[in-house]
Amino acid sequence: MALFKSQVLTQASGSVGGLTYSHNAGGLYMRARSIPVQPNSPYQTQVKNALTQLVVAWLETLTAVQRNAWNLYAANVLVTNPLGDPRANSGQNWYVAANQPRLQAIAKLASALTRVDAAPIIFDRGLLTTPAAVTLDVSASTLSFTFTNTNAWATAVGGALLVYQGRPVNGTRTFFKGPWRLIGQILGAVVPPTSPGLISTVPTNGYAYAIGQACYIAFAATTADGRLTTRQIVPASIVA
């Protein structure tokens, strides 16, 4: 589905028929639409299973009161569409979006996180201070980074900082949109975790990488009450 700003395409984003509309530093452009291959990797399966579980839970487990509370949260917490305009999600969409990363962490990382059925009563997405000093170590197969342990995700049981590794690209690349693999977590606690964080990046967990490549890391925090922060994407330094 494409979004249009005007009939003369001063702005457009998405696909219509065989064309995809997008934009870069040079402005608006069109290209032939490509259909991505779906190899059904274990990572894709985890995400799909989580989505299925959450849709069923919304329909069959949540009470009417809980669904109304998610609808209220959705009405107060707007998101931004690809053209930069604010729009409201449905309560179901927010419930699924807030819980899908938690279920994926449970499936892949054996996380202590649980599904959050009660909607947040604070109408925002929570704060995530962008992690810094993000470094991938080739020889140690680790990712290290500093983080702020006074953010809400870090100060209570049930919160977490989720860490995603992007597929490595050419070293000249200056942007990245995906794909991503969830590779680790820092769990919140009554006594907050201490910085820096250290995550294993063995190839069975994430993507293999090498000196000279560019690799981006994405961070998203989930608070104990289920709020999911905006994802922060940071280029990593790769060292031997």
CATH value at residue 201 = 2.60.40.10
Write b or e for each residue in 206-224: b if 16 or more Cβ atoms lie within 10 A of its Cβ, otherwise e.
bbebeeebbbbbbbbbbbb
Residue 219 lies in a domain: yes
Cα distance between residue 227 and residue 119, in whole Å: 9
Residue 18 has pLDDT above 60, yes or no: no
Q: How many domains does the chain have?
A: 3
Task: Please give the residue range of the domain that contains residue 104.
Answer: 42-109
Q: 34 exposed, middle or buried (CB, 10 Å; 0-12, 13-18, 19+)?
A: exposed
DSSP-assigned letters across all residues of 220-233: EEE-TT--BPPPEE
Looking at residue 5, what is its pLDDT?
A: 56
Q: Hey, what are 168's tokens?
A: 């490595």
Looking at residue 207, what is its pLDDT?
A: 95
- 122 SS3 class: coil
pLDDT digit string, tens, across residues 190-239: 999 999 999 999 988 899 999 999 999 999 999 999 999 999 999 999 99
Task: Please count the residues of the chain.
Answer: 240
Residue 117 lies in a domain: no
Looking at residue 45, what is its pLDDT?
A: 77
Looking at residue 46, what is its pLDDT?
A: 74
Looking at residue 204, what is its pLDDT?
A: 83
Q: Hey, what are 63's tokens?
A: 């009470």
Rg (CA), the chain: 19
Looking at residue 41, what is its pLDDT?
A: 67
Cα distance between residue 134 and residue 125, in whole Å: 23
Out of 33-42, 49-58, 95-104, 138-147, pick the least confident.
33-42
- HSE on the CB side for 149, CA within 13 Å? 15
pLDDT digit string, tens, across residues 23-41: 555 555 566 666 655 556 6
Phi/psi at 138 (nearest 5 deg)? -65, -50
Instruction: Examine the domain organization and report whether 22 and 91 are in the same domain.
Output: no
Q: Are 215 and 163 in contact (CB under 8 A)?
A: no
Residue 126 lies in a domain: no
Specify the DSSP element, H or E, that contains 133: strand 132-137
Task: Return all residues near 184 (Cβ < 8 A) that are at least 6 apart.
Answer: 109, 143, 162, 163, 197, 199, 200, 205
Residue 167 has pLDDT above 60, yes or no: yes
pLDDT digit string, tens, across residues 168-182: 999 999 889 999 999
The residue with greater pLDDT, 91 or 82, is 91
Instruction: Examine the domain organization and report whether 50 and 98 are in the same domain.
Output: yes
Q: How far is CA 60 from the centre of its chain?
A: 26
Instruction: Examine the domain organization and report whether 224 and 137 are in the same domain.
Output: yes
Residue 11 has pLDDT above 90, yes or no: no
Looking at residue 12, what is its pLDDT?
A: 58
pLDDT digit string, tens, across residues 110-158: 999 999 999 999 999 999 999 999 999 999 999 999 999 999 999 999 9
Cα distance between residue 59 and residue 92, in whole Å: 9
Q: How confident is the model at residue 13 (pLDDT cuts 50, 70, 90)?
A: low
Instruction: Examine the domain organization and report whether 65 and 24 are in the same domain.
Output: no
Residue 227 lies in a domain: yes
